[in-house]
Structure 1
Amino acid sequence: MSKVADIASKRAEQIAKDQLKSIIERIERLEEEKKAISDDIRDVYAESKGNGYDVKALRTIVRMRKEEPIERQAFETVLETYMQALGMLR
């Protein structure tokens, strides 16, 4: 291999290492942010519980609000049908 090719190869290798390091550091920063946000969410649920709200119901509502209205309505219809069949609704 020529000296120029060797230098180019080493440069390319260093660029790849730098890029990999940058990617890993970005992921680590995002993981830290995710944990901080997760902690904040947990604190809001704890606060809501302290104010008398049912955390399980709040979590269900948050999850349901992410769903498309048509899909949510279809699921609720099936759920209600099953509950009626089991005598859970009157």
Structure 2
Amino acid sequence: MSDETNVAADELRLFIERIERLEEEKKGIADDIKDVYAEAKANGYDTSIMKTIVKLRAMEPHKRQEIDALLETYRNALGIA
């Protein structure tokens, strides 16, 4: 193997190892989030509503307003108060 190939292989290996470490961290964080939802559920909270709130809070305000308007339009069309 040439020096250039070795350097490229080393760089690729480092990228892969970094990604693997981040994937492990991501799994750990996902497990932590799952634990928080389980704790909230044990305390009587509706976790599906909590997940919806988390998604809404992550949205840009204009996007959230657009969704609210469409939801209201659809509810009115179907006669849902």
Q: Which amino acid aligns with 2:15?
A: I
1:19 counterpart residue number: 11
SS in 1 for 2:20: helix
Matched residues, percent identical?
Answer: 54
TM-score (norm 1): 0.85
1:53 counterpart residue number: 45
The alpha carbon displacement at 1:43 in A equals 0.4
2:80 is aligned, of 46, 65, 88, to: 88
Residues 56-71 of structure 1 mapped to structure 2, 5 A cutoff:
56-71=48-63
2:34 is aligned, of 29, 36, 42, to: 42
1:78 counterpart residue number: 70
TM-score (norm 2): 0.94
1:10 counterpart residue number: 2
Tell me how large the CA RMSD over aligned residues is.
Answer: 1.1
The alpha carbon displacement at 1:13 in A equals 1.2
1:31 counterpart residue number: 23
* Gap runs ≥5 in structure 2: none
Runs of 4+ in 1 over 4 A off after TM superposition: none
Deviations 1:20-74 (A, max 9, x none): 1101100100000000000000000000001110000000000011111121112
The alpha carbon displacement at 1:84 in A equals 1.5
Q: How many residues are paired up?
A: 81
